[in-house]
Each structure stands twice: as structure tokens, then as C-alpha cells.
Structure 1
Amino acid sequence: MNKLFKNKKYYTPLLHLLVWTVLFSLPYLLSSGQSSEIHMLVERSWIPLALYAVLFYFNYFVLVDRFLHTKRIVVFFIINVFIIALFIGIRVVTRDYFYPDGMPGKPKGEGPPMSFFIYIDALSFILPVIFAVMLKIFERWIKTEAEKKEAENARLESELQHLRYQLQPHFFFNSLNNIYAMVDLSPDKAKETILALSKLMRYLLYESNTERVSLAKEVEFIQKYIELMELRTSGNTVITTNFMPLPPNLQVAPLMFVPLIENAFKHGVSATQQQEIVFSLHMEGSTIIFETKNRNLPKNETDRSGSGIGLQNIKKRLQLIYPGGYTFTAEPHGDSFIARLQIDIKN
């Protein structure tokens, strides 16, 4: 039964059936089912309701779509005037049939003139037409909004997919730069780096192409990535990681922390100066907090290790995936540079 009501294919007809059942039943229930009043009930309630239903559904299924929505308003108006005039004639005939001697309690010839009843009937028949038009307009608006939302979701998904594909070559390009820098200086380290990179690329290719990934796997990936990046540093650089134990089964958008790690190594490593790079990850309630801290060293003009695409990528992805559910700052503090990303995973 729940599936029946959740299925819009059946929900709308059942709703219409329920409304008309109530409309037809209510007058009978209010009359207490007295046989002496049945003929009055038929003439005053059931016949008008049947005519209203015919007029409503004829407009709803045929006239509104075929004429009104195609801007053929004059034709729509003429057809409805003709139908309403026909139904008014039916009401006059049925009224004379049920009350040949005049209205109950009134001698024949007394009471309101016929024009009064025609006027009331005309007004009452206009209402089903108005309801049919309003319902169709509302349904078209709902459909249009749903199509807009679907198109927007498709656009966002396409943009996110583009950003993922953009990040992966960027990651690979930076890693190759690291390997190239150490091939002549330390061939053994270069070999270790290639092996580590192959493992990381396996994660990028086969496990990160989804909307959400396990936070535990993502943390494992960034730990290996930090180890990979550390291979290119000299003895002057100290790498510290403070990753607190995290609850199991948490999900997060993939590769969200990688650009911050790249940025820390890009700007926080020097061949001549002592420095420390600190990475920390912990949770406060439902919020994941990832932070990088490094010396704010100016980048050499000859350094081609990055183009800034990583941080642009992460900002755009955050806006698309966690709108209103994140805080991201990246700014200098004294001689240090601190990047801090907070993500509410319930968002």
C-alpha cells in the first residue's frame, strides 16, 4: 500500500477519486438518506456535480493543452461557452422534469425568474473551468521546476566530474615533477617514488571516482601521499602528522585535502633553511577539521611545481559539494602559513 501511494502514477487518480467521492457522498450524508429527499438530491447535487466533473476533465485533459497553452485563447473561450450553454440547457430541462409544478413550497409562476437560475448556473459552471486551468498551470510549473532542477543537477555533476578529472592530471603532473627532480640526485629515491606513485594512482583511478569515499581510506591515501612528497625534501625539513582516531564508516568527498598538502610542500620547503610542516586531522562533533601549517617561504620564480590550480579546484568543489557546510581559510600568520578546512559531513 505504501508503494502504491508513493507512486505518482497511482497517487493522482486516487486523489481525484477521493475528492469526487466526498463531493458526491456529502450531500447524501447530510440529507440522512431520507427517500423523500432523494429526487431533490439528484437534481440539486448529483446532476450538477456530474456536469461539473465532465466540464472539469474535458478542460483538464483536452482543451487547456490543445488550445490555451498553444495561445488559441479565442477557440478555448468559444468551446467553453458552447459547453456551458449546453449544460445550462440540461439544468433547465432537469429542473422542469423534477419540479413541473414549480419550486417546492412555491406555487407555479412564483419564485425567482428563470434568468436568475441561468445566471447562477453560468457562474457555477465557470468554476470547474477555472480550477482545470489553475491545476494545469500549477502542474506545468511543477514540471518545469523539476526539469530545471534535473538540468542543474546534471550540470553540477558534469562540473564535479570535470573537476575530478582536472585534479588527477594535476596530481600526477606534480608527482612527476618530484620524481624528475630526484632522478639524478638519488636514483634509489626516484625508484621508491615511482612505486609509491603507482599505488596512489590505483586509488585515484579505481576508488576515488565516486561522490563519497570512506574517510579511513582517504586518510590512508593522504598519509602515503605525504610520505611520497617527503622523499623530495632535504634534511632541513621536518614533517609532522597529527591524525586523531576517527569514527568508522564516515564518508567524505574524495581528494579534498590533497591540494592543501601540495600547497604546504610547494611553499614550505627550502633547501637551505630549517622548517617544519605540520598536518593535523581531527573531528569536533560532525565536523572534520584538516589543517596544514608551514613556513611562509616565497616561491622561486624558476619553481614550476604548481600553477595554483589545486586551491582553485578545492574551492570550487567545496561550493558544489558542501554549500553552506564548510569553512576554508588559507592565510599567513606571522612567518607561518596556515590553511584550515572544516567540513560538516552531515551537510
Structure 2
Amino acid sequence: MQPSGDIYLGGLRISRLTQHILFWIAAYVIMVLVYGYSKTTYSAAARNNFFYIPVHVVYFYTLSGWLIPQFLLKRRYVYFFVLFSIVFFAAIYLTRFVDVLFVEPYLVRLYGSYAVWYDEGVKGFWDKVLYPNAFFGALKGVNFILWFGLAIKLFKLLLERRNAALEAELNFLKGQIHPHFLFNTLNNLYGLTLSGSDQSPQVVLKLSGILRYMLYECNTDRIELQKEVQMISAYIELEKIRYGERLDVQFSVNGDYDNIEISPLLILPFVENAFKHGTSEQVGNCWINIDLQLQNRRLKLKVSNSKPEPAEHPADPSEGSIGLKNVKKRLELLYPDAYKLKLFDEGELFLAVLELNLKRSNPLRYES
């Protein structure tokens, strides 16, 4: 899990404090450009907006950090409206104080007269602060950055909720693998126990290693492909113990997969599906071929298995597997537009082909 509020851009972590500093720098630059363009003097805009920034900062964080979370989001609408009105007018008049004390005296030296802003007879300090025409100018100025900032904050909130929903769905889909796998393996162990096999302790040992991997090492977005391959190998060994000589399994891995990461438990459902439909439903000899290739961070997985003799109501391996349905959903969430999955249900075999571009993914890189 990433620290709260941090975001990632191209692998670079940007802390929450840095985000806020960058926002206010951007806000200041925008204000200078807008004000400088309209007044044709960027130097004056740079100086004057320097005095406005503290007002914008206080106004923005009072709303976003206090009023909105404490009152609006908790549906205390009356309190929010009253307090917002107070803060709203206070921000406007604080802006007018800045105008009268710092901005307008400087501009007088440029334009030569207060008549640029005020009607005749408006000369006192409070007359200038409360001058109606200037009030509306301050209203526009002080709220420009506020709504710009709140729009960004709303976008981040929507992103947080989207990522939270995505993470919850992925955890649900990945979590379904554990009981599904455990159910199948315990059935295997039960069969060995009934037959009095002396390999039962070895099965228990391998099973404990696989479960340790699934429960303690897979609680992350990415895991080393090498570890995933090792787990698949252990799973295949378990199945070999169960089915003995009537099962022929070929498992090949080609390519350099050091320092390559993949979403955990993404390959296992294809292997499980092959054993479920290629062995457990057959009485005689059966075979499974698993070929994993990796080149330039592009993974290609081919899993094929023999099929039982056609029955009156044959099962479709692609439709009957909870594991395959879940892995399709996970691929769509984690690797959108970066994978191809083809399933071939032919006369004597079932073939699954997965092509995955590990350079492109949709990892959860923002944590609220």
C-alpha cells in the first residue's frame, strides 16, 4: 500500500505536500497570466497576485479541509450554508483589504489616479473596501482559484472511489481462488488418504507451501513471475501424485523472467482448468501441456489438455470454470487493451492461449 494521498506518475511518487505546493505554484502562474494579459503588465500581475495568494490559501483550505468534510459531506446543510456564507463574504472582504492596502497604491503609481476604480467622493479606507463595483471584482477573483481547486479535489475523490471499488472487486475475484483451489486439493488429499497412500504427508507439505504463498505473498498488486512459476510447478507436482502414471504433464518455461512482475495468481486458473477437465473427468490416460514463453516483457501462455469421450451433455471447459470466468474479469481490470485470450474447444482437446503485454497494465497506483 502506498502512503496516504500519494500519487504516481510514470513510477515517480509525488507526496501529498508536493502536490499542494505544485498546485499553488500553478494557481499563481495562471493568475499572473490571466491578470497580466488583461492589464498588459505581467510584472504588476506577478507582484499583486503575490499578496492575493494567502487569501486564496486560507479560503480554499477552510472550505476543503473543514466546511465540506465536517458539514456538507455529513449532511449538516444548515450549518454548512451559514458558515459558508460567513467564510464567503470574509474572503471577499479580505481580498478588498489586500486591494486597498497593497494593490491599488502600487497601481496608482502606474495609472496616476484612484478615479480608475472609484466614483468621485469615495476616498476613505472603508469607503474603498465596501465599494460595490470593486466588491464584484473581488468576488470573481477570490472564487476563481477556489472552484478550480475544488474541481481537482472532486476529481481526486472520484479517482479514490474508483480505485477503492476496483481494489475491492479484484480482492473478491482473487479471494475466490483460495477456496476453489483448496477445495480441489483437499479432494485430492482425501482420495490419497482413502487409498492409504504413503504420499499423503508429502501432499500436506506441498499444500502448506502453496497456501503460505497464496495467503501471505499474494497480498500485493504485483509479484515476481519466478515465484508464480514455482508455485505452478508445486501445484503440478501435487496433481502428479494424485493421478500417477495415467497422467502425462509437460510444463516448459522459456525466456528470461528475472525481475519480471505479474498480477498474483493469474496463471493458476488456466492450469487448474486443464486438470479439472483434462484429468478428473477421464478414466483412462490423459495429458496436459503447459507452455510459458516470455520475450521483451510479452508473455504467451498455452495450456492444452485432452478431453473425455463426448457425452450426451458434454461440459464446456470454458463455461464451467469459475476460475476462468474470474481470470477474464481480472484481465479486463488489470490489463485492459493489453491482453488477448483465445479459447479453443476442439474434438479431442481444449486449448487456452493467453498473450499478455506486461509493459502495459492498470495497477492501483493511487491510494486514498
| Partner residue in 2 for 1:205 | 215
Selected match of 2:198 from 182, 188, 194 = 188
Selected match of 2:143 from 133, 158, 170 = 133
Give the deviation of 1:125 after TM superposition: 6.7
Selected match of 1:309 from 322, 326, 330 = 322
Q: Which whole-Å CA distance do the structure 2 matches of 1:274 and 1:341 have between them?
A: 26
Change (3 A) 1:210 1:141: same
Q: Which whole-Å CA distance do the structure 2 matches of 1:4 and 1:158 have between them?
A: 24
Q: Show the 5 A alignment for 1:58-207.
A: 61-62=58-59, 126-207=136-217
Do the aligned residues in 1 keep the contact of 2:307 with 2:348 (CA within 8 Å)?
A: yes
Selected match of 2:294 from 269, 283, 291 = 283
Partner SS, residue 198 of structure 2: helix
In the superposition, the TM-score normalised over structure 1's length comes to 0.68
Per-residue CA deviation, residues 57-107 of structure 1 (Å, 9 max, x unaligned), is 7577459958xx9668999689969x97xx89x979x97xx979xx9xxxx
Give the deviation of 1:225 after TM superposition: 0.7
Per-residue CA deviation, residues 132-184 of structure 1 (Å, 9 max, x unaligned), is 32321111111011112122222322332333332112211110011112322
Structure whose CA Rg is larger: 1
Do the aligned residues in 1 keep the contact of 2:59 with 2:146 (CA within 8 Å)?
A: no
Higher relative contact order, chain-length normalized (CA < 8 Å, sep 6+)? 2
Selected match of 1:336 from 349, 356, 359 = 349
| Partner residue in 2 for 1:40 | none
Partner SS, residue 353 of structure 2: strand
Partner SS, residue 147 of structure 1: helix
Tell me which amino acid in the other structure corresponds to 2:354: L
> Does residue 331 of structure 2 align to residue 321 of structure 1?
no
Do the aligned residues in 2 keep the contact of 1:208 with 1:254 (CA within 8 Å)?
A: yes
Tell me which amino acid in the other structure corresponds to 2:276: K
| Partner residue in 2 for 1:33 | none
Give the deviation of 1:323 after TM superposition: 2.3
Identity rate of aligned residues, in percent? 26
Q: Which whole-Å CA distance do the structure 2 matches of 1:272 and 1:15 have between them?
A: 70
Give the deviation of 1:321 after TM superposition: 2.1
Give the deviation of 1:210 after TM superposition: 2.1
Q: Which whole-Å CA distance do the structure 2 matches of 1:334 and 1:178 have between them?
A: 28
Give the deviation of 1:278 after TM superposition: 0.6
Change (3 A) 1:238 1:299: farther
Per-residue CA deviation, residues 248-281 of structure 1 (Å, 9 max, x unaligned), is 1111111111111111011112544443211110
Moved more, 151-160 or 15-24: 15-24
Change (3 A) 1:230 1:300: farther
Q: Which whole-Å CA distance do the structure 1 matches of 2:271 and 2:219 have between them?
A: 20
In the superposition, the TM-score normalised over structure 2's length comes to 0.64
Tell me which amino acid in the other structure corresponds to 2:335: Y
Q: Which whole-Å CA distance do the structure 1 matches of 2:320 and 2:244 have between them?
A: 23
Do the aligned residues in 1 keep the contact of 2:55 with 2:91 (CA within 8 Å)?
A: no
Q: Which whole-Å CA distance do the structure 1 matches of 2:25 and 2:16 have between them?
A: 9
Partner SS, residue 220 of structure 2: coil
Change (3 A) 1:62 1:284: closer
Change (3 A) 1:124 1:236: same
Q: Which whole-Å CA distance do the structure 2 matches of 1:341 and 1:229 have between them?
A: 22
Change (3 A) 1:308 1:271: closer
Partner SS, residue 209 of structure 2: helix
Partner SS, residue 283 of structure 1: strand
5+ residue gaps, structure 2: 1-13, 73-79, 123-130, 361-368
Partner SS, residue 7 of structure 1: helix
5+ residue gaps, structure 1: 31-44, 104-113
Do the aligned residues in 1 keep the contact of 2:307 with 2:350 (CA within 8 Å)?
A: yes
Per-residue CA deviation, residues 230-254 of structure 1 (Å, 9 max, x unaligned), is 2222533321122214231111111
Q: Which whole-Å CA distance do the structure 2 matches of 1:226 and 1:202 have between them?
A: 17
Tell me which amino acid in the other structure corresponds to 1:283: L
Change (3 A) 1:19 1:170: closer
